């Protein structure tokens, strides 16, 4: 099928930069909601990352009739029953600073060591096509919750996310390395392959 443009459902410029970088060799124009002139809000009332991504992408696709991509991501802490999970942005309230949220997670893991502190970032990306078809991909980045905040890079829970394989915190990674390793980067590269397959479909 012919794909000339794709809308990525985010208002976040940082995310858009990452998306454009990874999809740059697909030969498709990638627009943010703002660039496409779409004012949209979709209720994220799904129970999984995938459900939320599909809800968002489908709702906006219905409004504009173009191929729409949307993502949903968050942090799962195994010892906390995979909290905060899909509630990562809402955890302790949207207006609570990440310094407070991060310290709260550290406090809740008191007494736990090494692999008992295992956690992962998860990102699901959904593509909603005007013909009704849906594609989803998922990427994860495995690690552990550290004992303190470290690093000036990244955002959200990055300062407490320790990567044992690399001996550093996610907040200490450069943007290039983070994109290479991150849940979002992995999910996006898998989505790029899905889009490539769709592009190669005969009319």
Which residues belong to the active site?
Answer: 72
> Rule CB under 6 A: is residue 77 a binding residue for ligand IMP?
no
Residue nearest to ligand IMP (CB): 156
Cis peptide bond N-terminal to 84, omega within 30 = yes
CB of 97 to ligand IMP, least distance (A): 11
Nearest by Cα to 168 from 155, 159, 176, 157: 159
Residue 90 is classified by DSSP as T
**Beta bridge partner(s), residue 77:** 83, 119
Candidates 32, 58, 88, 102; binder of ligand IMP (CB under 6 A) is 88
Q: Which residue has the tokens 């943007």?
A: 175
CB of 158 to ligand IMP, least distance (A): 4
CA 80 – CA 88 distance, rounded (Å): 13
Applying CB under 6 A, which part among 34-42, 67-75, 112-120, 126-134 lies near ligand IMP?
67-75
CB of 21 to ligand IMP, least distance (A): 15
Q: Which residue has the tokens 């990306």?
A: 125
> Rule CB under 6 A: is residue 156 a binding residue for ligand IMP?
yes
**Vertex 170, ends 26 and 167: CA angle to 5°?**
115
Applying CB under 6 A, which part among 16-24, 27-35, 148-156, 191-199 lies near ligand IMP?
148-156
Rule CB under 6 A: which residues touch ligand IMP? 71-75, 88-89, 121, 154-158, 182
């Amino acid at each position: 099928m012919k794909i000339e443009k794709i809308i990525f459902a985010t208002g976040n410029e940082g995310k858009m930069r990452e998306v454009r970088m990874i999809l740059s060799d697909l030969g498709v124009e990638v627009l943010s909601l703002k660039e496409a002139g779409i004012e949209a809000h979709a209720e994220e009332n799904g129970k999984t990352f995938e459900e939320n991504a599909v809800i968002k992408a489908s709702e906006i696709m219905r409004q504009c009739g173009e191929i729409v991509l949307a993502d949903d991501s968050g942090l799962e802490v195994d010892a906390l029953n995979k909290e905060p999970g899909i509630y990562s942005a809402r955890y302790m309230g949207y207006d609570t600073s990440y310094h407070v949220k991060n310290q709260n997670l550290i406090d809740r893991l008191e007494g736990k060591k090494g692999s008992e502190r295992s956690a992962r970032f998860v990102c699901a990306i959904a593509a909603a096509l005007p013909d009704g078809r849906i594609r989803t991909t998922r990427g994860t980045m495995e690690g552990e919750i550290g004992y303190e905040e470290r690093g000036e890079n990244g955002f959200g829970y990055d300062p407490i996310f320790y990567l044992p394989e690399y001996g550093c915190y996610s907040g200490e990674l450069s943007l290039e390395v983070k994109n290479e390793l991150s849940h979002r980067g992995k999910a996006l590269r898998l989505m790029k392959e899905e889009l490539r397959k769709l592009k190669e479909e005969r009319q």
